[in-house]
Amino acid sequence: MAGIFAKQIYNSKRWITKREYIFSKNFGICERCGRPGEEVHHKIYLTPENIHDPGIVYGEDNLELLCRDCHFDEHRKTNPLSNNFRKRVRLTNNGMYFDDEGNPQPVKRWLVCGAPASGKTTYVLDHMDHGDLVIDFNQVGQALSLRGKDEVPDNLTETVAGVIDYLYRLIIDGKIDARNIWIVASLPKDKERDLIAGRLNAVIVSIDTDIESCIANIMNDAECNDKELKKEILKNYFRNRKA
């Protein structure tokens, strides 16, 4: 339950790796009550003064796997408002949550659109909070196929679309336990963007990177195995964008 100053820590690969290790080390079990663990807790709370101390941020002696209830109980000791709320638990079933001051807030939904290699994912990483939900067609496809970028087999396209549509229904029904929901998609046509944004009640964020910069990003992307294919996909995006 650290503040904004810890955002970069929780989004870093080092923290994600350490968090996964703590889960694995404890077999996913809360160290206090034996129920399924959900949160890696800092025994010495993170502060602006100690955020650069690796022993406090990443040290195993300062990390503890807790279930949500035990984590809440721990922070209730220092937060006088926490008797009235739990982080990211909705006030009602209409997609509201309590913020860190105990005020009800709507879950924010963002539709991040732009050309391939335009920086959509980078934008989300720079603006997201720990615990946010990110839905990216390419990333979902990679997760379901264990293939690289733009290498998802055609026979899985409908399956990927079905998984994403299911997630969309959870968003519409207000069943996603997150403060922000980020939907990442190319969507060259404004009509397509407006349709999805309207369906999900999302704010459109347009990443308008020019084609030359996108090509440069493709050429510098070590994870892109077929750069020529990616450039053709990019050119097709800009043709559709202008149409």
Domains, the chain, ordered by start: 4-78 (3.40.1800), 105-242 (3.40.50.300)
pLDDT at 211: 95
Cα(50)–Cα(61) distance, integer angstroms: 15
> Can you read off the two tokens belonging to residue 104?
């009800």
pLDDT at 86: 45
Give the residue from 87, 57, 70 showing the smallest Cα distance to 26.
Answer: 70
pLDDT at 90: 44
Instruction: Tell me, letter by letter, the H, E, C secondary structure of the chain.
Output: CCCHHHHHHHHCHHHHHHHHHHHHHCCCECCCCCCECCEEEECCCCCCCCCCCHHHHCCHHHEEEECHHHHHHHHHCCCCCHHHCCCCCCCCCCCEEECCCCCEEECEEEEEEECCCCCHHHHHHHHCCCCCEEEEHHHHHHHHHCCCCCCCCHHHHHHHHHHHHHHHHHHHCCCCCCCEEEEEECCCCHHHHHHHHHHHCCEEEEECCCHHHHHHHHHCCCCCCCHHHHHHHHHHHHHHHHC
What pTM was computed for the model? 0.61
pLDDT at 3: 57
pLDDT at 223: 79
pLDDT at 178: 83
State the 10-residue block means of pLDDT for the chain, 243 residues long.
Answer: 70 90 92 90 89 93 90 71 45 53 76 95 90 89 82 86 92 84 94 94 95 94 86 93 82
pLDDT at 218: 92
